Amino acid sequence: MKGASRYLPSIPVLLAYAALFGFGLLNPGKWQLVAQLAFYCALGQAFNLFMGMTGYVDFGYVAFLGIGTYGMAISISGLADKGLGLGVIGIGLILSVVFAVLLALAVGAVALRLRGAYFAIATIGVNEGFRYLIEGARIWNGSEGIIFSSHLRELVGREAAMSLSTFWADVMVFGVAVIATVLTIGYMRSKIGYALAALRMDEDAAKVMGINVTRFKIIAFITSAALAGLLGATAWAVKLTYVYPADVFGIHYTVEAIIIVLLGGAGTLLGPIVGGLIYGVSKYYLAVYLPGFQLLVFAPVIVAVIVLFPEGTVGMIKRKLLGTALEKYIL
């Protein structure tokens, strides 16, 4: 495929995000729900960038969200009285990405030499180890975390702070989702994408063919991590204005990311947003109508999906649309 038509599949995805955003704007009383859905979609999109393309499952993914949250938290609480206003948010975003990238390099150095289950376990090890290091060495206040709502107020004033936490943070989450989408399709349609596709099918064969497997793995891994950092900085730090290590290193977020990607279809472009919406909406209504029973309902459903629809929703759609005109819009 040549030219701009290669990027056609991004259209349905971006339209979907725009529609969600628009729905939120038109229904301000439902904005928090929209924000929650956007979070799940962004999480899935960011996670899918590495996992979808390489097939590796990073079970410690949430560590990148966590460190991103800390990056923003430190910026806001540390620079609150310097009179920099909204610039601190920008600094926070940059710091989050820097932290996430550094952690990703450290993790990658160890974990990316491993495969399959060993990789999964190594990443869990990093996640947990890092969290205990923070608690044990009392880094960034250790287990007491950082609560910086008052700092945010000091920084930009009460009204702006409220607006940031309840609206602009979520807009930024949308931004992360869009960036993740663009990067994913960018990678998929480039050398990286082909290399990783080869890797996913047979890593040894790819190596033998002379593909620098390690380099491309690292690029995808770091990108995915950086996006997670941004997500933590926006959806968790700016929005909720607090961070506790126990909270932001919780392994269940990684599991949610995996579920979202799986529901939608791993390795597809449209998958994460479909998965995110299905997951988010189901959870919401379960919380409202069946309080206390969500997990009991969800867990067997997940098993059923894995066993019966391993390619996910979008995977199925792709198959059905094979040979039709719509084919080039779905990736």
Partner 1 sequence: MKKTTFFALTLSAAFFCVATAFAADLPQKIVIGNPEALSGTHAKAGEQAIGGVKAIIKWVNTVNGGVKVGGKKLPLEYKYYDCESKKEAVTSLLERLITSDKVHFILAPYSSPLTLAGAPVAEKYGILYMDHGGASDKIFTQGFRYAVQTIGPGSRYHVGTLDMLKKKDPAAKRLALAYKDDEFARSVMDGAEAHAKKLGYEIIFKRTYPATVNDLTPLLSDLKASKPDIVIGGGHLADGQLFTQQMADLGINPKALSLVAAVTIPAFQTALKGKADGVMGPSHWEYGVTFSKEKARKAGQVWIGPSQDEFVKLFKDAIGRDLRPEYHAAEAGAAVLSLVLAVEKAASLDSDKVRAAMGDLKFTSFYGGWAIDKTGKQVGHDMIDAQWQNGKLVIVGPEAASTGALLYPKPTVK
Partner 2 sequence: MILEQLAGNLLQGVVLGTVYGMATMGLSLIFGVLKVVNVGHGAFIMVGAFTSFAVFEYLGLSPVFAIPVAFGIGMALGMIFYYSSIRRLLKGPELASLLATFSFGVILEEGIKFLFTSDFRGFNWDLGKIDMGFTVLPYAKVAACLGSVAIAVLLYLWFNKTRAGMAMRSVVEDGVGARVCGVNVDWMYALSFSLGIGLTVASGVLLTMFVSVGIHPYMGGEYTLKAFVVAVLGGLASPYGAFFGGLVFGLLENGSYTLFAQIPGLEPFAMTRFFSFLILLLILLLRPTGLLKAK
Give the N- to C-terminal CA distance of the chain in Å, as an integer.
13
* Binding region for partner 1 (CB under 8 A) out of 25-33, 50-58, 60-68, 322-330: 25-33
Q: Which two tokens stand for residue 197?
A: 């596709």
- Backbone φ and ψ for 242, nearest 5 degrees, come out as -155, 160
CA angle 116, 63, 222 (to 5 degrees): 65
Window 291-330: residues binding partner 2 (CB under 8 A): 293, 295-296, 298-300, 302-303, 306-307, 310
Does 136 bind partner 2 (CB under 8 A)? Our answer is yes
In the list partner 1, partner 2, none, the entry touching 18 (Cβ below 5 to 8 angstroms by class) is: none
Window 229-268: residues binding partner 2 (CB under 8 A): 251, 255, 258-259, 262, 266
Instruction: Indicate which single residue of 133, 205, 209, 287 sits in contact with partner 2 (rule: CB under 8 A).
Output: 133
In whole angstroms, the minimum distance from the beta carbon of 181 to partner 2 comes to 21
In the list partner 2, partner 1, none, the entry touching 218 (Cβ below 5 to 8 angstroms by class) is: none
Instruction: Indicate which single residue of 16, 37, 46, 57 sits in contact with partner 2 (rule: CB under 8 A).
Output: 57
CA separation, residue 234 to residues 68, 89, 288 (Å): 9, 9, 26
Q: Tokens 């126990």 appear where?
A: 246
Does 244 bind partner 1 (CB under 8 A)? Our answer is yes
- Backbone φ and ψ for 266, nearest 5 degrees, come out as -70, 140
* Binding region for partner 1 (CB under 8 A) out of 7-15, 24-32, 217-225, 267-275: 24-32
Q: Which residues in the chain belong to E strands, given as ranges?
A: 146-147, 242-243
**DSSP letters for 22-85:** HHHHH-GGGHHHHHHHHHHHHHHHHHHHHHHHH----TTTHHHHHHHHHHHHHHHHHHGGGT-T
Torsion, Cα of 55, 310, 313, 38 (10° steps): -50
Which residues on adjacent β-strands are paired with residue 242? Answer: 147
For partner 2, the binding residues (CB under 8 A) are 51, 55, 57, 59, 110-111, 113-114, 116-118, 120-122, 124-126, 128-129, 132-133, 135-138, 142-143, 251, 255, 258-259, 262, 266, 293, 295-296, 298-300, 302-303, 306-307, 310
For partner 1, the binding residues (CB under 8 A) are 28-33, 35-36, 39, 132, 135, 142-145, 147, 149-150, 153, 158, 162, 165-166, 235-236, 239-242, 244, 246-247, 283-284, 287-288, 290-295
